[in-house]
Structure 1
Amino acid sequence: MSINLRDALLKSLTALPGVREFHLHALVSSPRKHLSLFPFSKPKCRSYLQDVLILLSEQSTPDSPRILVTVIEACVYHVPSTSSIILYISKVDSTGQCTSPSPTATLVRALLFYYADPTTRPIAAEHLWIQLFARAQSQYLFPNSADFSGKRPLGDIQLCGWWKRVFTDVALQLESRGKRSDAPMVIRLFYILPGYNEIEAEHSLKPVNASRPVTHSYQWTYGHPYSQTEIPLPCPRNDLDTEKTRNLGCFIPSFDDDPKSRFMDEIAYTTGPEGIKSPPRKRARATSSTSHGEDHRAVSNDGDDDDERRDGHNEKDDRPLGELGKVSVDEFWERMSFRQECVAGAVTGFFALGMSSFRNESGSDERSAVSPLAPQPGQVSSKMNKRVITSLMTGVEFSTRERAIRATELIEGTIRGLCEGISVVPAPVIHAPRPRPPTSSSEAHPTTTEQDASFLAPPRTPPPRMANGKRIVPDVSPNPFPEPETSLETYQTFIYGSTCISNPLPQNKDGLNENKVTSTPPVTILTARRKKKRQE
């Protein structure tokens, strides 16, 4: 039996230097049907979605309280028809209240490698894609953590360089694992900094990556991965596909809160110079109050019209929506450089890691025989993940150490209580005081700048592919498996775990610990001699 996610992450933390104790919570939801990964593909691509939430807290001494230091939110998409998996890293955040060095990079690398390594991957698939959109912000999932003086978030260039190093480390680790196994492995790395050409992007990230060179085996490709043919793309392709049916929506996946998804929606529902086109209005059925024969003819004629409209609708359904059939993948990324999310003054980056591992007959384990919707041991319901995220985003804050300690107790207590089936008392929602009602007509319509910013929800991608308030392709088939029920045994075996580490601190070139404060060497002050005046 392969190692579970919790144990794999805890094992990676044992190599960190220092003396401290880590407490980990790994929440993985059971698979559910998802039809919005490639919403514009023909035919529809059926995939299965899982939510992943990793919470890491640290305890510097046995008597000190726990403090949450790192959180990772990710999504796993499984496409059985192409034996592909997409791991999308949604958000990574830290509180800045951990002991140096930070465990965030180690935890992220362990998560990526867990799904990339075929021996630990919990889903039977031959192809894997890891994708993310890097955008520097002061805080993501830890509310008010930017107000803590010890938190030093990375800048835009630093964040892109950080992710490039993380992907490189995972690729090198996969290469080392592939050399020790008999299964061949193909690994490719891609990245794009919108608005930058290849030379500018390499020059911008070169100071960040100067000490971490990329080996020749994994030279990064500056560009998108949707034109290469070495690693199959997740969206299935039929033999009858033509250039008309194989549109832009068959290449680029859609994720929540991702600028590519918003741009895809605009392209799909834009029809040209006239702008956004509304759905065609259906003609009302004709009625007649004359003789029975005339009424029969009216109904039959209207039925023929319905058949013609239905056939015409099918013909239109076979065509790509909007401009999806006219915009190529290269043009999409070229136009992406002019999007507001990419030209707002900060450098952003799209990163992708693709790999294919072809297992032999002996390597096809029992995972391939399990239904994609069957919940595995240790998985929780998606509602539990959403409840924990809601409590984290609305019920607590991390602006000070005392508030972070209280927030850690509430969040970890919520997870344990939900697993035990205890109705956890929700934490009070933190809001600023509500504005007073207007006293004059001039105050009846305040401007956006006058309104309290705390009432403005963070920007998120709305539920895509909605037309007139209805899903375009409703998923009417029910899930044959019930939602998993968690228990205290599940909590202790799969969700919660801790590890104590006691390793020496790293040393610099002089043999001194990097975190050790050394005495300032004495400074010798040289005095300048005055030039004697020449006597005449």
Structure 2
Amino acid sequence: MSANLRDHILSTLSSLPGTREFHLHVLVSSPRKNSSLYYFARPRPRVYLQDILVLLSEQRSLDSPRILVSAIEAAVYHIPATSSAVLYVSKVDSTGQATAPSPTSHLVRALLSFYVDPWTRPLAVDHLWIQLFARAQAQYLFPNSAEYPGKRPLSDIKLCVWWKRVLSQVAGEAKPETIIKPFYVLPGCSEFEAEDSLRIASSSTASPTGLKWIYGHPYSLSEIPLPCPTSIVAPNLGHYIPNFDDDPKSRFLDEIAYTTDEGIKSPVRKRSRTNEESGDKKKSTGNEGSTPSSKDDRPLGELGKVTPDEFWERMSFRQECVAGAVTGFFTLIVSSSSPTSPDNATQRSISPLAPQPGQVSSQLNKRIITSLQTGNEFSTTERSIRATETLETAIKGLCDGITTARSSDGPPAPTRPRKLDRCTTPEPETPSLLAPPSTPPRRLHGKAVLPDVSPNPFPEPVASLETYHSHIYGSISVRNPAAVDKNTSVKADAAPAIPQVTVLTVRRKKKRTD
């Protein structure tokens, strides 16, 4: 049993046609508590979150420089109460500078198949939900890569075709005893319109693996439990729809939660109680710290009235889904019992918060993503080479304990503590990487909900060069035959046939002699 994501991806990339060398960086953060996945569920389940960042660079020859060609940003949510995990693919992007064929689809397939296979899955769960929102854009993770002439982003409908094909291939690699349930919805399209649009765009009427896709949402299944437990209280919409960053479902769920009979209202701030009111309240409710009243456990707004069917029907009228471009929601559910191996039994016995070998802190992961999206650009080959060197040097430097500072004319240079000649107050350090703006925290019943600040019994892992070489960085040389163009009917080594030309001669009319 191999639990190394880096090695699994490199093994998948080895089958790509052509001659080139790949350099891979895989950053997986240690588990931490998360309270936003099922924010409106009561009671809120225990969820543990891990961030995933995969960066792939390519080197066409030993003398050529490395260039980043593909990247994936994803998140894994672990819900032990239902033995479930949710793998959300947030962003997938390419620079358009890879040798054909592009390795992006192989990279995504390798990441998903690693979590689908129970023998390689690093979480001891029985049910895996892969979810994503397909929305075509010119660039996602590589700034200004849309200006590179060689990048050709997929159109809206072709992106949905691409995701459906990739997920079908991942499902086709699953074990025979695995239960596979694939769902998809193109908001604003009926089932006939969606199938017809995908068929025309892909020039095919069936899945490449024969997988039967279900058009609709996955929240009415009976044989597979929902990730959020619903056995304690009557479920509301907050138990069905998960909250992801930059996802239209989450924004719509917020509106439903704060919608009343009078319209959409923001939570009302409660006025502070006087000492007399506080004393009366204590007498009526008993000791401090008692369980909250049932009023606070009621579903907010219309969460208890809107069903999942109505939610998806109303999603078709959202601006993000009817803005002229086709979007798609895809869910692939994989249900299989975890293997009864000694490693798996040990994994179930340890705490979900315990960091595993090769994992890094969430702050290190966040710094690399921020540097990728704010401090580099990929509009030209020269700038892409410089950005690749900057990011790869930063990852290795952070693992080696070196703080990197950006210079104006090259990659970040290591900065070491300055020796002071006399006792002085040190100047405050200016952060070199600014975090992007984030959405303010939600308010529940008039009070700002703070993140879960209960202490983590395990300290965050400290990356080292050993971690870097064993789990984060890896490379592989690909030496395979070049891909054959299926559209070419004449073989490359076949001599073209010379057409025969028939020359017609003109007969001259004989002169008559008298």
Specify the alignment match of 1:82 in structure 2.
82
Specify the alignment match of 2:194 in structure 1.
201
Whether the aligned pair in 2 keeps the contact of 1:391 and 1:426 (CA below 8 Å) is: no
Specify the alignment match of 1:284 in structure 2.
273
Aligned positions of 1:433-452 closer than 5 A: none
1-structure distance, mates of 2:48, 2:267:
30
1-structure distance, mates of 2:387, 2:95:
12
2-structure distance, mates of 1:513, 1:60:
28
1-structure distance, mates of 2:209, 2:167:
15
1-structure distance, mates of 2:208, 2:384:
41
Question: Cα RMSD (Å) of the superposition?
Answer: 3.1
Give 1:509 shift: 5.6
Specify the alignment match of 1:241 in structure 2.
233
2-structure distance, mates of 1:227, 1:495:
39
2-structure distance, mates of 1:495, 1:513:
44
Give 1:230 shift: 2.2
CA deviation map 1:504-532 (0-9, x unaligned)? 11224698899x79999989999xxxxxx
Specify the alignment match of 1:462 in structure 2.
439
Which residue of 260, 271, 276 maps to 2:260? 271
Which residue of 397, 405, 413 maps to 1:417? 397
The AA in structure 2 aligned to 1:406 is R
CA deviation map 1:82-141 (0-9, x unaligned)? 110100000000000010000000000000000111010011100000000000000001
Specify the alignment match of 1:505 in structure 2.
482
TM-score, normalised to structure 2, is 0.86
1:168 partner SS: helix
Give 1:305 shift: 5.7
2-structure distance, mates of 1:361, 1:399:
50
1-structure distance, mates of 2:298, 2:445:
20
Specify the alignment match of 1:389 in structure 2.
369
Aligned residues: 477
The AA in structure 2 aligned to 1:507 is V
2-structure distance, mates of 1:401, 1:520:
38
Give 1:426 shift: 2.8
1:208 partner SS: helix
Gaps of 5+ in 2: 410-434, 503-514
Relative to structure 1, is the Cα distance of residues 510 and 156 closer, same or farther in structure 2, using a 3 angstrom cutoff? closer
Aligned positions of 1:112-123 closer than 5 A: 112-123=112-123
2-structure distance, mates of 1:338, 1:39:
24
Specify the alignment match of 1:315 in structure 2.
294
2-structure distance, mates of 1:464, 1:208:
41
Are 1:398 and 2:391 matched, yes or no? no
Relative to structure 1, is the Cα distance of residues 112 and 524 closer, same or farther in structure 2, using a 3 angstrom cutoff? farther
Specify the alignment match of 1:94 in structure 2.
94
Whether the aligned pair in 1 keeps the contact of 2:85 and 2:125 (CA below 8 Å) is: yes
Are 1:190 and 2:183 matched, yes or no? yes
1-structure distance, mates of 2:209, 2:101:
29
Whether the aligned pair in 2 keeps the contact of 1:75 and 1:89 (CA below 8 Å) is: yes
Comparing 461-470 and 346-355, the one that deviates more: 461-470
2-structure distance, mates of 1:107, 1:212:
25
Give 1:24 shift: 0.2
2-structure distance, mates of 1:122, 1:211:
35
Percent identity over the alignment? 58
Which residue of 215, 240, 243 maps to 1:251? 240
Which residue of 217, 229, 233 maps to 2:222? 229
CA deviation map 1:440-499 (0-9, x unaligned)? xxxxxxxxxxxxxxxxx99x8725533599642642311111110111111011000000
2-structure distance, mates of 1:133, 1:320:
26
Relative to structure 1, is the Cα distance of residues 484 and 507 closer, same or farther in structure 2, using a 3 angstrom cutoff? same
Specify the alignment match of 1:37 in structure 2.
37
1-structure distance, mates of 2:292, 2:11:
56
CA deviation map 1:362-392 (0-9, x unaligned)? 5743211121001111100010111001111
Whether the aligned pair in 1 keeps the contact of 2:34 and 2:47 (CA below 8 Å) is: yes
Specify the alignment match of 1:325 in structure 2.
304
The AA in structure 2 aligned to 1:23 is H
Specify the alignment match of 2:333 in structure 1.
354
Give 1:323 shift: 0.5
Give 1:211 shift: 4.3
Comparing 502-511 and 76-85, the one that deviates more: 502-511
Which residue of 315, 319, 323 maps to 1:344? 323
1-structure distance, mates of 2:278, 2:173:
69
2-structure distance, mates of 1:83, 1:117:
15
1-structure distance, mates of 2:54, 2:73:
7
Whether the aligned pair in 1 keeps the contact of 2:268 and 2:446 (CA below 8 Å) is: no
1-structure distance, mates of 2:61, 2:489:
23
TM-score, normalised to structure 1, is 0.82
1-structure distance, mates of 2:370, 2:16:
31
Comparing 119-128 and 212-221, the one that deviates more: 212-221
Gaps of 5+ in 1: 288-297, 430-456, 527-536
Relative to structure 1, is the Cα distance of residues 326 and 25 closer, same or farther in structure 2, using a 3 angstrom cutoff? same
1-structure distance, mates of 2:103, 2:40:
39
Are 1:369 and 2:359 matched, yes or no? no
Specify the alignment match of 1:492 in structure 2.
469
